[in-house]
Structure 1
């Protein structure tokens, strides 16, 4: 066997492997015997098919599989042992003719693969700023955040009468369109269209709000459903089944709206039992102490968010500081040939290559950081990360049953269904997060004290600002 590596440029290499018959014939013989011992071929008992028969029937295919397997194994071994860093996977050169295999005439086979190389570089952190934000809240912001917390904790309860702009009113809107001549026992019948609608009173125009106030469950009023909302988006979102043509057909049409259900968001009562429900292991007896404790959590969450933003900015600056040349032409050919992305995604990469290149750089740089810091990830961390993510998504969907044991079991069953590549992806993401955490800890910090309002503006400008 002969293996030759040629560095065509700093970013592209070619590997050639030549296999002589003595390199693969013993493996071919083993494979033929293995298949013969399991083959079910007409005229022979299971497992008793002669090797010569298997060779005659399937020899060319088995030879091809054997040779290509040896080729692939030796490519991987050579690249690993010679510490050759590359992007994506090695692929055959363009317009490459693969050899044809004939088991009757063993011969020498030569193969070539090309790869996108990672050029030599050293990690640099000089001049990179790691920011430590300290967020302070004004009294007005504290009150606003506390009220927002209570809104999130609000429960939905049935009501008999619309009394607040925060009430939800649901029911059917029935439109009577112009009469259409329908032959049915010489009668003319009106055409009707029904749309189910949800009206949050606060989203309605002022005159519509006044019309809805005082409505009771089961009552009926006449309204113009496509005119009561402030904007078209709210109309589409809250009149279910709305089609584009409805805005032409029904915009100026009056409908009978029958109130089927009235719901109201009610904030929790600030009682000792509620304080105990939120903080079961703490003794909180009055509203001021409860508010202060909630604000501690809110400020803590805001500062965690600020740290995560600072790490994302650090990651962006770190990539800019450590850019290297990338053979994007080869990578696009690899992605196309391996069918890793769709044609539309290839087109998007060509239109916006910078985002793609940033991802390529981070993949390489994060791997270097993982090695530098000897980052380790346990299987338990992978499992818990996935389960926590599933539980968080369930809660975001409003499906929280309050039964933590049930949700854990539900998430764990999903985790057990993951394949190796999915597990590896979670492992890699955790390792990369740990690597950027270590880099953030290592660098000197620039402290920035800012108000919540100012920090919101920073978030809007983004990490590149």
Structure 2
């Protein structure tokens, strides 16, 4: 078998594979004999089918399969052994049925879209800003308030406050404001509403200041803008019926539940930061400040990555790509892409493809390597954030590690984590190689900068 390559442009080539009968004949014979051993063929005992009969019945298909397999392995092997950078996959120049009756030797050709040579550098001559968002006392106070409410106690209240839950019977009203008593009347005897989540402030304000045994006339449909699921839950009716319920209801208040914020004590410190992470108010506030800073740093990091991409693409984005070969590949690999719309689809794809090539070259320069422990640590961070959504902020390390391993065992989720970890390590490495212009800004200033970017 002979494999050769001919450049057809700076970033395209034709790979030619010539295969002779001696390259595949022995494997075809072996495959046919295996069929005779393993399959029941009418008229013959298993394992005693004459080779001529096997060849007559299966020779054409087996020969075609073996040739295609041998050629494919030759193409892949040539690309691997010669370390060719190929975009997409090799494209057959012609797809025709093999004329096995009249020919024994065959030649196949494949178009290759080659990765352009990129002389990329990541040095101190490249300057990129990094915006650190200042954590203010107001942010700390607001977060402290949220934590105190989250870990506070729900107690009976004397009147409805802005964050109160209200329990009681909810009765459908007639147009004249009287309680509907017909058989089909909607009556929710053990109803519960949360005015703080109403989308209509006017409806929420109707409850504020009301006390047990008071009655409130309100419009459930307006509280949730007709959301069928919310109406179904509030009124105890089927979702199919809920969206059509637009009239007023009367709620007779039987119980008011209010939240009393947690006291500033060790229990709160432990709930928020983890056991014994803070012993006094100053340490607690510092811990909350660090927590906020970590959250804001995600935004800083995202903007930094955008700025790195802009800087690198400005320097190296003007590269030649094998557009025509890639367009053929797009049409062949994507159902929605046709000869009529491929030009438009390619224009959409080209910028991200160029950035991906630049990013891969940067990863090589920065010698980015991803270890299994890196993946576990990142998955633990994801697990910690998921637990925190349910108020579990101080999970032990064994539980987090076990949950992280389960996340990584998900074949659909793992590639995403690998990509995220790769990006984290890459941009951390880039920070060490380029000049980073550190700037501290307020949250409002950051929003303005990010909007412009």
Query: For this structure pair, what is the TM-score category when the shorter chain's length is used for normalisation?
Result: 0.7 to 0.9
CA deviation vs aligned residue, 1:74-93 (integer Å, no higher than 9, x gap)? 11122233333221111224
Give the alignment of 1:46-65 within 5 angstroms.
51-65=51-65
Q: CA deviation at 1:12?
A: 3.1
State which of 352, 357, 373 in structure 2 corresponds to 1:359: 352
1:416-455 alignment runs, 5 A limit: 416-418=409-411, 426-455=417-446
C-alpha contact (below 8 Å) 1:174/1:257 kept by paired residues: yes
Choose which of 132, 135, 139 in structure 1 pairs with 2:133: 135
Equivalent-residue separation in structure 1 for 2:117 and 2:35 (angstroms): 46
Which residue of 2 is the match for residue 294 of structure 1?
288
Cα distance, 1:368 vs structure 2: 1.5
In 2, are the aligned partners of 1:136 and 1:451 still within 8 Å (CA)?
yes
Deviation at 1:443, TM superposition (A): 0.6
The DSSP-based 3-state class of the residue aligned with 2:207 is: helix
Contact 1:176–1:191 (8 Å) recurs in 2? no
Q: What is the rounded CA distance, in whole Å, between the counterparts of 1:87 and 1:206 in structure 2?
A: 59
Q: Look up the match of 1:395.
A: 387
- Distance in 2 (CA, whole Å) between partners of 1:89 and 1:261 is 68
The alpha-carbon distance between structure 1 residues 417 and 271, as it changes in their structure 2 partners (threshold 3 A), is: closer
The total of aligned residue pairs comes to 438
Q: CA RMSD in A?
A: 4.3
**Relative to 1, partners in 2 of residues 1:10 and 1:224: Cα closer, same or farther, differing over 3 Å?**
same
Which residue in the other structure is 2:178 paired with?
A: none
Q: Deviations over 1:226-280 (max 9, x none)?
A: 3457xx48x6784348989977x544x2224466986655543211233244455
Secondary structure of the residue that 1:374 maps to in structure 2?
A: coil
Equivalence for 1:350? 344
Alignment of 1:87-126 (within 5 A): 87-93=87-93, 96-100=94-98, 102=100, 107-125=104-122
Structure 2 counterpart of 1:183: none
5+ residue gaps, structure 1, are 179-187
Give TM-score, length-normalised by structure 2: 0.78
Residue segments in structure 2 that go unaligned for 5+ positions in a row: 176-180
CA contact (8 A) 1:60 1:101 kept: no
Q: TM-score, with normalisation over the residues of structure 1?
A: 0.76
Distance 1:424 1:276 in 2: 35
**2:320 paired residue number:** 325
In the alignment, is the contact (CA less than 8 A) between 1:167 and 1:201 conserved in 2?
A: yes
1:431: Cα distance to partner?
Answer: 3.2
Matched, 1:67 2:67: yes
Q: What is the aligned partner in structure 2 of residue 371 from structure 1?
A: 364
Deviation at residue 109 of structure 1 after TM alignment: 1.9
Match of 1:415 among 408, 413, 436: 408
Task: Quote how far apart the aligned CAs of 1:165 are.
Answer: 0.5
Indicate which of 199, 205, 221 corresponds to 2:201.
205
92 and 173 in structure 1: CA distance in 2 versus 1, 3 angstrom threshold: farther
- The alpha carbon displacement at 1:372 in A equals 2.1
1:306 to 297, 300, 303: 300
Q: Which residue of structure 1 lines up, in the alignment, with residue 248 of structure 2?
A: 254
CA contact (8 A) 1:169 1:201 kept: no
Residues 201 and 212 of structure 1 are in contact (CA less than 8 Å); yes or no, is this contact kept in structure 2?
no
Q: What do the CA deviations read for 1:390-421 (whole angstroms, capped 9, x no partner)?
A: x25743663959765556545534533527xx
Structure 2 residue aligned with 1:3? 3
After superposing the two structures, state which structure 1 stretch, 391-400 or 373-382, moved more.
391-400
1:209: how far off? 1.8
